[in-house]
Amino acid sequence: MLFGKRFIILVLAGTIPALLSLIPGAGAYPVLVYNTLLLLFYAIDYSITPSPDEFEIRREMEKKFSLNVWNDVCLIVKNPAKAPLMISIRDSVPKSFETDKEIITFKAGAEESKTVLYKVKPKKRGEYSFLDLHFRYTGVLGLCVKSKIFNAAGKVKVYPNLEDMRNKNLIIASRKKLTVGLQKIRRLGIGTEFESIRDYTPADDYRHINWNVTAREGRLFVNQYEPERNRHIYLMIDASRVMAEEIGGISRLDYAVNTAFLVAETILYRGDNIGLIAFDNEIRRVVKTGKGMPHFQKLADSMYNIGVSEAAADYDEAFSTLQGTQSRRSLALLFTNPAGIEHAREIVTAWQNYAPGHKVIVLTIKNPVLIKEAGKRIDKPDDAFVKSAAIKLIDDRRRTFSVLEMSGIHVLESSPDSFVVDAVNRSLTAIGSRSF
């Protein structure tokens, strides 16, 4: 049982009858009468105000939220009283969510079903639970306060915000051309599916000249071919401890998963097959290659809650799973962070032992801090130490990549801002290449 603000104000106002009791002959009657009336009205308020059990309250929200954007949560409350009530609700928002309102306070009319909204912004991917609703309301007369905790458990899945990623990367693509890889393939005429006949350009392969049309028209024409469809591509996502490093407050794994979403969408839109293998020291997720938007949803449901592990990656198991799942030659896009020459050799050895028939591209992100420190001007002795350390780390990374490249594994290292665009382009180029 709690007291409303109005009750507290009236209690404080009781100092007036208390002062009156100091008048000779008045006695304690003013105070006694005042307090008796106050308690009586409190009891009346408590009795005419509905019990919390009479209220109907529920939470409605989408089953999937987007990462790092505001998502709506809807609370619906049915007021059973024949008078308006002031109501406050505090929801049990997951810890990694921001919210625009910790406590939602509103007035619900007599017997009104009131709908109120508040917003949350998830900061991490995954599945999260909304638990209890802490419900409190003031009595009809404003003297008492009643409360209850409603069990309103519900789960929500947080996905990367694909629409925002598309919009953001289209700005970059206006300069870099998001599908430059596909355009390059078409321009070179690489592929096996005939598409059309067009004018010859100096960049065209002379073997694709259409001599019949050329003879008839009196100028050079070439056959244009679409790249072969129905290729098989695997997203191999390393979720081990090397992916825990944060760049700009975002982990390498988050960059990888976000990019994998758009790579998958692009490849499926193009008509190829794509699958998933997520691993650390064990295989965490496997989705065999498939096509179409229903398959994209299957991939999304498997990727959205991949988390970083403290374990080291088992590349033997990863490439063995790739070979066992896909015996036909495929393109493996390995999202990882080669952390040294020995690490690179582990990747190479596992690939050569278990899946040498598959083409592998390692996709990783540059750390802008290293580049910045390596190019910094030296103003004090500490700067020289930091600069030399950064230069050494960059050189070590270059030598690590050379181990992969010389063994036949291609590497794409890109800055965080352009990683998505570069990864999509590299994937499309690789799909259309003759070596695949």
pLDDT digits (tens, 9 = 90+) for 149-186: 999 999 999 998 877 666 655 544 443 444 444 444 44
Please compute the mean of the pLDDT values over residues 254-267 and round it to a whole number. Answer: 92
How far apart, in whole angstroms, are the C-alpha atoms of residue 318 and residue 79?
A: 57
Question: 158 forms bridges with which residues in the sheet?
Answer: 65, 126
Please compute the mean of the pLDDT values over residues 104-109 and round it to a whole number. Answer: 94
- In the structure encoding, which two tokens stand for residue 257, read together? 């998963």
Query: Looking at the domain 228-432, which fold is it?
Result: Rossmann fold (3.40.50)
Q: What is the mean pLDDT of the chain?
A: 85
Amino acid at 356: P
Ranges 13-27, 378-392, 420-434: which has the least confidence: 13-27
| Predicted pLDDT of residue 395 | 86
At residue 430, φ and ψ (nearest 5 deg) are: -65, -40
DSSP line for 310-337: SSPP-HHHHHHHHHHH--S--EEEEE--
Kindly indicate the confidence band of residue 348, based on its pLDDT and cuts at 50, 70 and 90: very high
pLDDT at 230 > cutoff 80: no
Q: Which residues contact 16 (CB under 8 A, 6 or more apart)?
A: none
Give one word for 349, left, alpha or beta, with left for phi > 0 and alpha for psi -120 to 50. alpha
pLDDT at 227 > cutoff 70: no
pLDDT, one tens digit per residue, over 235-258 is 999 999 999 999 888 899 999 999
User: Which CATH class for the 52-159 domain?
Assistant: mainly beta
| Predicted pLDDT of residue 17 | 66
* Run of H or E residues at 130: strand 126-130
Instruction: Say if CB 6 and CB 142 are below 8 A apart.
Output: yes
pLDDT, one tens digit per residue, over 305-335 is 999 999 999 999 999 999 999 988 999 999 9
At residue 429, φ and ψ (nearest 5 deg) are: -65, -45
Q: Which has the closest alpha carbon to 284: 262, 259, 257?
A: 257
Kindly indicate the confidence band of residue 371, based on its pLDDT and cuts at 50, 70 and 90: confident
pLDDT, one tens digit per residue, over 4-47 is 788 888 888 777 666 666 666 556 677 788 888 889 999 999 99
At residue 49, φ and ψ (nearest 5 deg) are: -85, 130
Instruction: Say if CB 267 and CB 294 are below 8 A apart.
Output: no
How far apart, in whole angstroms, are the C-alpha atoms of residue 246 and residue 224?
A: 45
DSSP line for 259-279: HHHHHHHHHHHHT-EEEEEEE
- In the structure encoding, which two tokens stand for residue 421, read together? 């665009």
| Predicted pLDDT of residue 219 | 85
| Domain limits, the chain | 2-48, 52-159, 228-432
pLDDT at 352 > cutoff 90: yes
Question: 187 forms bridges with which residues in the sheet?
Answer: none
Helix/strand/coil percentages in the chain, nearest 5: 40, 30, 30
Instruction: Say if CB 232 and CB 289 are below 8 A apart.
Output: yes
Q: What percent of the chain has pLDDT over 90?
A: 56
| Predicted pLDDT of residue 248 | 83
Helix, strand, or coil (residue 424): helix
| Predicted pLDDT of residue 10 | 82
| Predicted pLDDT of residue 195 | 56
Q: Which has the closest alpha carbon to 149: 161, 160, 136?
A: 136
DSSP line for 16-53: HHHHHTTSTTTTTHHHHHHHHHHHHHHHHHHHHSPPGG
